[in-house]
Chains A and B, each alone.
Chain A
Amino acid sequence: MAVYERTWRRYQGELTSLRRRWLVVTRYALSDTFASRIFTAFYAVCFLPSVVGLFFIYLSHNASLLQQLGMPADVMSILTEKFFMILFLWQAVPAFLVAVIVSPSLIAADLSNNALPLYLARPIDQREYVLGKMAVLAILLSPMTWIMGLLIFGLQAYLEGGGWWLQNYRIGLAYLVGHLAWIVVISMLTLAISAWVRFKPVARGALFGIIFILAGFAQAMNEVTGTSWGDLLNLVRAINSVVMSLFGAPTPSGLPVLFNWLTLAAATALSIWLINRKLRPHEVVR
């Protein structure tokens, strides 16, 4: 059927797999995200800390280059957990910024003009829709965080040789688990905000508010009560403590690390509940 015929007929061709249908949501959201050249450039810049980390590891194993640069040959000694912890932070911050930029429009764009019923009137359900949107953030954030982290860890293990990787396996574990935990928490949180707040600037402000104002409130609570229970509300400290414990370093929170995990789990569960409340295929008239 050609367009000039201006006619309609039923589709009789092949259909894609029902199980992978939610990936359509992801693919379109990613394509919309990268339609902005400014974002694409910013996204590339977000890999800079990891590239610098890779270069530094290469440099530390290149004696002649170190000599030319006038650096001490035992620079390797600083390639300890501290280097990897700092690098972790420098990966997590850009990842957070990417989430802040991308997520406000992920769900809000579909809700603001009531497009959600059109999605859900097709063979895709609420859960798959959210999975599709969450996958956007996972696909965007993974390469710049745990994938690059493991690549750096692998390069260091390869160049160092011997049993380095076995002695320092916690570093790799911290990169994998720590970043994945952060991606899940931040994705669900930003999606929940996107579902409830339709204006991008307000949504971004709300995210900063939840993360940083809540942290300030938690700190004040700790000061007033003289305890560390305020840390239950402090997402930044919770993820920080979890990551530190994964690295085997002392945690900044006064609470056992299990409580920090519980804080992250509670934030995720609350986000899922909020998303579930908002994502209905119809407007609720009260």
Chain B
Amino acid sequence: MSQPESSSPAAIELDGLTVNLGGRPILVDLRASLRGRAIGLLGPNGAGKTTLLRTLLGFFPPTAGSAEVLGFSLANEGKQLRAQIGYMPENDAYVAGMTAVHFVRLMAELSGLPPEPALERAHETLFYVGLGEARYRKLGTFSTGMKQMVKLAQALVHGPRLLMLDEPTNGLDPPARKRMLELVTDIRDRGEAYIVLSSHLLRDVEMVCDEVMILKNGRIAATCDLEAERKANRSFVELELQASSDQFARELTELGCELAVHETGRMKLVLPKGRTVRDLYTVADRLGVGIRHLDLKRDSLQDIFLRAMEDDNGGV
């Protein structure tokens, strides 16, 4: 898998980061240099995604190794670092008795904004996330979707350089999920803030992120620059023949295709650069082989994820 370009400064630099909690290793020797504008943290439940975010926020002290976020050292520049971060936790997080605007303003002031700009930005941010009309309602009366949006608003209000979103689409219905992802994509496209999106939903990560780190059992199972993968546009083809043909397989190999043949006649292959699906049809026509089904797809995040999960060693 391709790695991100090394010219841009790393948003997150992990150097052997290890975190033990309750005597158990949760994150093990994480080493990565994440340079994407929108970084996805993928992994099954319990892989260590949330622990990594919390460690980067200074909630858990590293047992070994170190990390830098936006050039700030986790070990001795925690406060300066947290001033640059907007954090949206996975679970509900609000003060029930407060109105939305009061709550978001409080969070802005805690991040260092003077009272007046904090109030101004609280209003603006609530309108931005679509809660303008509900901003004087108490948070305890909000629906799940509205609470998610308030969490996003409080993470955005102080204009952070890095936005950490932990499962932001949790509990959202399809329209609300779409709205949330549109907002995150909009923030990404403005280019004013880095985004770290932790999720187990591949589609969310694929839609928003340009770089992905896949965690498995607290280790990095894979990192990949999705943007580069998209540009490389490696073509994967699944095809099914009317009858299996060794000759057809041999000819495809000669064309430079990497392929796996199933005894039922089904094939999975990767087209080399310069070759197209048309070449496959040409070969089939020349050999008189009937193609029953053909599906062309690029190397999706799902494939990358599944490969990473299959690798028992958890290596990149």
Contacts and interface: CB of A to CB of B under 8 A. Distances in A.
B128 A11 contact: no
B123 A112 contact: no
Interface string A100-134: 00000100011011110111111111000000000
B186 to A, nearest CB: 7
B110 interface: yes
B112 A8 contact: no
A106 B93 CA distance: 16
Interface stretch (A24-32, A73-81, A251-259): A24-32
A278 B185 CA distance: 37
B161 interface: yes
Contacts of B160: 10
A68 interface: no
A280 B187 CA distance: 30
A38 interface: no
Interface stretch (A15-23, A88-96, A207-215): A15-23
B215 interface: no
Contact of A117 (B85, B93, B123, B159): B93
Nearest to A24: B109
Interface string B116-137: 0100010111011000100000
B20 to A, nearest CB: 15
B127 A3 contact: yes
A140 B87 CA distance: 33
Interface string B154-167: 10101111000000
A7 interface: yes
B87 A117 contact: yes
Contacts of B94: 113-115
Interface residues of B, number: 49
Interface in B71-129: 79-80, 82-83, 85, 87, 89, 91-98, 102, 106-107, 109-114, 117, 121, 123-125, 127-128
Contact of A115 (B57, B93, B114): B93
B112 A15 contact: yes
B259 to A, nearest CB: 47
B136 to A, nearest CB: 13
Interface in B187-213: 187, 190, 192-193
B59 A117 contact: yes
A1 B85 CA distance: 21
A3 B124 contact: yes
A37 interface: no
Contacts of A113: 92-96, 139-140
Given A121-B87, A281-B59, A11 B82 contact: no
A4 B126 CA distance: 11
B187 A109 contact: no
Contacts of B31: none
Given A15-B83, A16-B112, A121 B57 contact: yes
A9 B159 contact: yes
A114 B110 contact: no
A11 B121 contact: yes
B54 interface: yes
Interface string A221-258: 00000000000000000000000000000000000000
Given A9-B190, A118-B87, A125 B124 contact: no
Q: Kindly name the residue among A112, A113, A114 whose own CB sees the greatest number of chain B CB atoms within 10 A.
A: A113
Nearest to B103: A115
Contacts of A25: 110
B125 A282 contact: no
Given A3-B132, A9-B192, A11-B159, A122 B123 contact: no
15 contacts: A8-B128, A8-B186, A10-B192, A11-B121, A24-B110, A28-B106, A32-B98, A109-B96, A113-B93, A113-B94, A114-B94, A119-B110, A122-B82, A122-B111, A283-B91
Interface of B: 54, 57, 59-60, 79-80, 82-83, 85, 87, 89, 91-98, 102, 106-107, 109-114, 117, 121, 123-125, 127-128, 132, 139-140, 154, 156, 158-161, 186-187, 190, 192-193
Given A21-B112, A114-B93, 6 more contacts: A8-B186, A28-B102, A28-B109, A113-B92, A114-B92, A122-B83
